[in-house]
A and B are shown apart, each in its own frame.
Chain A
Amino acid sequence: MTEILILGEQANGDLNSLSKELLAAADSISDNISIAFLGNDNRSVAEDAIRYGASKVYLLQSKLLNDWSVDTRVAAYEHLLGKISPSVILLGKTQIGQDIGPRLACRLGVGLSQDSISIALDPKTMRPVATRPVLGGRMIAKVSFAEDGPNIIVIRKGSYDINKPNDNNEGDIQEITFHVEQSDKNIHHIQTILSDPGGVKLENAPVIVAGGRGLGGPEPFEMLSDLAKLLGGSVGASRAACDAGWIDHNYQIGLTGKNVSPALYITVGISGASQHMAGCSGAKFIVAINKDPDANIFKEASLGAVGDWEKILPSFISTVKDLLET
């Protein structure tokens, strides 16, 4: 049976949802699933991973360091892969995952498929085949690997439905200690500056009202923000609106911005280029307001309104208010 290793991530001591997706992705092609975490103080995360389908958990710990920079992580995974030889390695498309994947692939001399949305096994070679959007999402490519693994596949968030946890699952938890020196690190962290999101976090927002180039300036985002608050959501933006300086880049949704999956995604003055849609493909219901009836957004939306947002939005907002009060 094809052995799959997942490079797991945790968020505040919990197995994060992307790791649960990776477990579901692995489960779709194999029963032999192991997952690695950094640090050995996370038994509950390990047990959680077993409930979600892992049969083996590796907890990687170094004697010297307890900081998990990309340098240290790559060293930790390289150490683990000196001991085990899975045929497939899965990791999530997070900022850190995207940095780790290519470096690890280079060290192992193996192939890597970035930003993949599904995986399968080639029944002849038993090597993985990955599906991934290319040309900003305008095309879909199916890629295979020229050599045996461990081939690496980076999975985009929102690609797999999470499996139901099973308390009866059993699995091994193994601690592995590896060695890194301070001198192995060549990038030094000085400080982290977090901006105040002020309201609902974009990734968790059930409703997002996003504005684009068609808004023509920064002021309209206030109206979008009013609507978002009314619906218990957050405001978002296309890259064009962020690059124009109308709103902070932290609100950018798209291929290189945030990947969101709200129940309701309302776009105002967004043309719907594939690079933007790549960031909201998980949205359940898309509403588009745009003055161009030929805009691509109407190919992606469920409900569309052609016209001037300056007139549509105020009557939309006041009707929403009335409906919420009744």
Chain B
Amino acid sequence: MKIDITVFVKQVVDPDAPISSFHIDPTSKQLSIKPDTPFIINGFDETAVEAALRLKDSVGANITVVSLGYNFVMDVIKKPLSMGADNLILLQDAAFQNLDSFTTAKILSKAVSTIGNTDLFICGRQASDWDNAQVPLVLSELLGLPCLTIAKNIRIDNNTVEIEKVLPEGHEVIQAKLPAIVTVSNELGEPRYATLRGIMSAGRKTPSIYTAKDLNIDTADLSPKLIIEEISVPNSDKKCEMLSGDNSIEIGRKLALKLRESRIF
């Protein structure tokens, strides 16, 4: 049995980009990202691609990667293809920028019929820009599908998906009938590297692109439920006392004495 998997990925600003990559407008208090700032596929979404590829290896799967946005960086967004995914669909429109989670899920729910048959949707547990962890859950409500969150392992057997869900002190095994939505976490393991052959083959593939009009979405309906009033840089008033000494052994000793002196232990 070969299953159809759809993986949703988001192009995000590299979380390790220097702080100088971000600009906050002093009047509007809104955040903008300077040109030349590196973008990546959200880390948890790369884990989602890895999870799909493992199922492709074990039970056989056709993997379609879908991304919603605008201003895609082709080399970045094609990475899942170079890792081994089969198809790439971009839902691309100028109206698909700065959306809140609810609106994003609404657009994805309308795109599902265009994407084609899907037995299993896999998403990252959250995106590193807003850490909302909302889209898969809202999508599950809109599509009437079960949503199994924070998986570190996914198994498919006989039209059923079973995951090991990460718990604070262990894990639980839960199941649902397909079609279903699963979100994955870093506990699943490191995503594989793209192979040279994968990169060559990804280069030859062209993504299918759909605009709001193609998806029959009236952009006037995309009003957000959340409004960003302002963005600021957290002010840290902490002052770190740095210990000095002739050598590391002395520094270690001073550290203990200092903590004892301050009655920390």
Q: Which residues of A contact B (CB under 8 A)?
A: 95, 98-99, 101-103, 105-107, 110-115, 129, 133-147, 186-195, 197, 201, 203, 207, 231, 239, 242-243, 249-250, 255-256, 258, 263-264, 273, 275, 285, 287-289, 298-308, 311-317, 319-320, 323-324
Contacts and interface: CB of A to CB of B under 8 A. Distances in A.
A3 to B, nearest CB: 20
A103 B138 contact: yes
6 contacts: A114-B131, A136-B131, A190-B173, A192-B167, A301-B238, A315-B248
A315 B171 contact: no
B118 interface: no
Given A133-B234, A285-B264, A305-B255, A145 B227 contact: yes
B74 interface: no
Contact of A103 (B19, B141, B232): B141
Given A95-B168, A187-B146, A187-B148, A137 B223 contact: no
Interface string B211-254: 00000000000011111111111101011111100011111111
B37 to A, nearest CB: 12
Contacts, number: 251
Contacts of A323: 256-257, 260
Nearest to B149: A99
Interface string B172-209: 11111100000001110010000000000000000000
Nearest to B44: A256
Given A134-B129, A190-B174, A315-B248, A207 B229 contact: no
B79 interface: no
Nearest to B136: A102
Interface residues of B, number: 85
Interface of B: 13, 15-16, 19, 22, 24, 31, 100-102, 105, 125-126, 128-134, 137-138, 140-142, 145-150, 152, 162, 166-177, 185-187, 190, 223-234, 236, 238-243, 247-260, 262, 264-265
3 smallest CB-CB distances across A and B, nearest first, come from: A315-B252, A111-B225, A311-B248
A314 to B, nearest CB: 7
A201 B168 CA distance: 11
Nearest to B187: A249
Contacts of B31: 139
Contacts of B146: 186-187
B236 A299 contact: yes
Contacts of A313: 252
Given A138-B19, A307-B251, A315-B253, A298 B240 contact: yes
Given A256-B125, A307-B251, A316-B256, A102 B133 contact: yes
Nearest to A74: B141
Given A105-B102, A141-B231, A207-B265, A146 B129 contact: no
Contacts of B171: 192-193
